[in-house]
Structure 1
Amino acid sequence: MTDILANTISFNETIDKLNGLYYPFMNHLNTELFYTQPVLAFFSSTQAIVGDTYPESVIWDHDKTQRFINMLSCYRNDIENERQAFIYQESQNKRELEQYMHSLTNHYSRLLFIRIDLKYAKETRHHVSIEDFDCHMRKFRELISNKKTCFEYLQGNAWALEQGGDKYGLHCHLLLIYDGSKRQNDWHLAREVGEKWKMMTGGLGVYYNYHDTKTKQDYERNGRLGIGMIHRDNPKEIENAILSAAYLTKPEKVEQYLKVKVSGMRTFGHGTFRTAKRRGLPPISK
């Protein structure tokens, strides 16, 4: 919808998109889900024009398409307000995540930072609904909280859910932070986590492991290596680790926020830093 409002798509392309997308959209519309303003604007604008006509009978000609474009412009402010709200929330998330990272890196002498993207195979992702994604992520976060198997010695975590269009689909950017005195092999550990995701999704899931040698060498060559072992007494490592974590909360990734959500669905979160003061525990010396 934003490309139509911004006039970055031709009139004929709009006709083609309407004829290609309207019927499948109406066929999958679920009133129990929560949609973003561009999606709601599309629904409201099309319904104002075609009314109760069966979706499979609708043909978007020149006249209907022009009326649709005119109607869509009425929702420009709603769409922009939602966009600004997203940018503000991401800025808040970024600030909160940075504080969390500082607490962890100040407390432990060394931490193992693991970055991994959890997603779905291109061939099967069309079988995965937003309800499936929410269910998979809830279960996976439970596994993370239990701190068993590949999550043992985990001291912190953060995650962000996104929707990356046809190329990436629904996916999760995941950051796991382990006690560096207990865990060392970052590539192997990231692989274990990824395989856990594949197993839990019944083979639908795939993952991207950032910890192969070439990727890390590229980051290091550019002075931006912020994954792997991070030492408290190395300010550059700490700076890079926090910058790497901040990718989960980039306000400019506005086109990748979820277009549809289930009730109560969270799209960002992180662990809680345990302090001796809060829990009456002795300081943790590492």
Structure 2
Amino acid sequence: MPYSHLNQPLVVANVHSLVTDILANTISFNETMDKLNGLYYPFMNHLNTELFYTQPVLAFFSSTQAIVGDTYPENVIWDHDKTKRFINILSCYKNDIENERQAFIYQESYNKRELKNYVHSLINHYSRLLFIRIDLKYVKETSHHVSIEDFDCHMRKFRDLIGNKKTCFEHLQGYAWALEQGGIEGGLHCHLLLIYDGSERQNDWYLAKEVGEKWKMMTGGLGEYYNYHDTETKQKYEKNGKLGIGMIYRDNAKKVENAVTSALYLTKPSKHEQQLKLWVPNMRTFGHGIYRTPKRRGIIS
């Protein structure tokens, strides 16, 4: 893999995966040595002390620095001896890495409960809701132009658009989003759930397309999206009895159950390998709207 052509998010994702593979004993010694020689220089070249990193990435940095010190990264060659020392030192960080994983699982479990309550509140209030699921991501061929700062900026602007409830977000009654990053591919992406008043909005495929095209435009063409609402995909879920997107009627218990299940995909505690591997200060990775009963058809909380 041409590591020198990867941007910071992708390099960091590769470093994260390398460390977890080493500690899980799923990578050979020679492959570890090869990856160290490929990743160390681009990682150090992209290192930014103003960003936050996962524990595996911090363990990589600390372990390598304990061995090579202030040697210029371009002059470091990871031979058999250095690689062996690196692996040995890395084992000292097992507890820190496991503690972070447990903290992630705990936070995701909390987010899951919060999202479940939020979605049920909306379903209990409206007789029908249009559920839209879409993944916002970046074109693979040009993703090396996207930094974590860019991603954060794009998502902040996009959430502002959602909050304004204009154009394709008109009649939006609820929403949730989760930021993630792939493993070895390191792709930054957002799982987005949009919930519209079903008496005002009907065409789910077209609406999802509008949202996706707005994302592409806002990212200057760097973005792309996945629309779950094409006929083939929906028929596949329908056939398996798991269709939970599109129009959801409150009195259809099975569809309601499917809709909640689909929404909760945004907060799966088992997806710890999909967590962001780096982030900017105060960067939010999950959120949903607020259900305010006093503003809804005169209902008093």
TM bracket, shorter-chain basis:
over 0.9
Q: Residue by residue, what CA displacement relative to the aligned partner does 1:58-93 show, whole Å, maximum 9, x if unpaired?
A: 000000000000000000000000000000100000
**Matching residue within 175, 183, 186 for 1:165:** 183
Task: State how far apart, in whole Å, the 2-side matches of 1:57 and 1:222 are.
Answer: 56
Task: Give 1:165 deviation, angstroms.
Answer: 3.0
Q: Counterpart of 1:275?
A: 293
Q: Counterpart of 1:259?
A: 277
Q: Residue by residue, what CA displacement relative to the aligned partner does 1:14-67 show, whole Å, maximum 9, x if unpaired?
A: 000000000000000000000110000000000000000000000000000000
Q: Counterpart of 1:70?
A: 88
Q: Counterpart of 2:45?
A: 27
Which one-letter code corresponds to 2:158 in the other structure?
A: F
Q: Counterpart of 1:61?
A: 79
Number of aligned residue pairs? 282
Which one-letter code corresponds to 1:214 in the other structure?
A: E
Which one-letter code corresponds to 1:53 in the other structure?
A: T
Task: State how far apart, in whole Å, the 2-side matches of 1:32 and 1:191 are.
Answer: 36
Q: Which runs of 5+ in 2 are unaligned?
A: 1-18
**Matching residue within 215, 220, 233 for 2:251:** 233
- Is 1:36 the equivalent of 2:43? no
- Is 1:45 the equivalent of 2:63? yes
Q: Counterpart of 2:193?
A: 175
State the percentage of identical aligned residues: 82
SS at match of 2:141: coil
Task: State how far apart, in whole Å, the 2-side matches of 1:100 and 1:168 are.
Answer: 30
Q: Counterpart of 2:265?
A: 247
Task: Give 1:281 deviation, angstroms.
Answer: 5.8
Q: Which runs of 5+ in 1 are unaligned?
A: none
Which one-letter code corresponds to 1:122 in the other structure?
A: K
TM-score by length of 2: 0.92
TM-score by length of 1: 0.97
Kept after mapping to 2: 8 A contact 1:119/1:168: no
Task: Give 1:280 deviation, angstroms.
Answer: 8.7
Which one-letter code corresponds to 1:40 in the other structure?
A: L
